[in-house]
Amino acid sequence: FTLNQIQYSIDSNSGTSIAIPLDFEGPQPSAYGTEAAKSVPHELFGNSCDTRFGSNYNFHRISLSPHSNGTHTECIGHISKSRQFVSPTLSETLIPACLISVTPIDPGCTKDSYDPPMEPPDKIISEEALRSKLQLIDPNFYRAIVIRTLPNDESKKHRRYLDHPPIYFSLEAMSYVSSLNPNHLLIDLPSVDRPKDDGKISCHHIFWNIARGSTTTSESSNYNRTIT
């Protein structure tokens, strides 16, 4: 494919998933204290619809909370009164993307801000951390920005996030990301916002350009953007 008059080639057989796989029968991440995701055999005419229990077929009922149980994608409908959905927003299949790694810092180590105010033991993704990495990357690859937090260990796959200090974006960090005009932002955190923030989710509002405190979209809102 050609991007900015430069030709690239890809090996479509060598892709790597960066999602956290959902294991219904094993350890799972939990972001907001919800129950674990479950896959339960349906009971039909007194029989369990699971081949492990003598059935000729598998017929399961799935219960999950995508915001809490693992990797999920949000569109502007996450914070708007209007019913907007992910599928129409994700109209592209192969998207130029860039991946950066950042180390979250203590609130006292930055002049960045948040609403409500940051406090220990919070950890922050700062504007400086993002700018120092992203300014080195060809802007043509900003269509999808993938942000990996360090340390990048296996515990992310089954962590109970409410038991750990929250990691989230400062307002300045999100404003900077938004200014790069990405279509898609991918992170390895439960949210770009602080879990306990009085329901303000300020960074979501910045990213989708909806006035803070409002659930009403406008012509200038960023309908084509997603967060994963």
Domain boundaries, the chain: 22-70, 73-227
Across all residues in the chain, what is the average pLDDT?
95
The model's pTM:
0.94
Residue 137 has a pLDDT of: 97
Q: What number is the average pLDDT over the span 113-139? A: 97
Q: pLDDT band at residue 125, thresholds of 50, 70 and 90? A: very high
- In the chain the first and final C-alpha atoms are separated, in Å, by 25
User: What is the reported pLDDT for 166?
Assistant: 95
Peptide bond into 151 cis (omega under 30): yes
pLDDT value of position 78: 97
**Average pLDDT, integer, range 184-202:** 97
Cα angle 12-75-174, degrees, rounded to a multiple of 5: 95
Model confidence at 92: pLDDT above 90? no
Quick one: how far is CA 107 from the chain centroid? 22
Residue 3 has pLDDT above 90, yes or no: no
Dihedrals phi, psi of 101, to nearest 5 degrees = -115, 135
Average pLDDT over residues 10-23: 91
Rounded to 10 degrees, what is the CA torsion of 38, 41, 42, 43?
Answer: -130
Average pLDDT over residues 68-85: 95
Q: What is the predicted pLDDT for the residue at 99?
A: 98
C-beta of residue 31 within 8 angstroms of C-beta of residue 190: yes
pLDDT of residue 192 exceeding 90, the answer is yes
Contacts within 8 Å (CB) and 24+ apart, 206-214: 206/171, 206/174, 206/175, 206/178, 207/174, 207/177, 207/178, 208/76, 208/79, 208/80, 209/178, 210/76, 210/79, 210/80, 212/115
Query: What share of residues in the chain are helix, strand, coil (percent, to 5)?
Result: 20, 20, 60
Tell me which amino acid residue 96 is. P
DSSP 167: E
pLDDT score for 15: 87
Give the pair of three-digit tokens for residue 63: 């219960």
**pLDDT (tens digit, 9 = 90+) per residue, 130-180?**
999 999 999 999 999 999 999 999 999 999 999 999 999 999 999 999 999
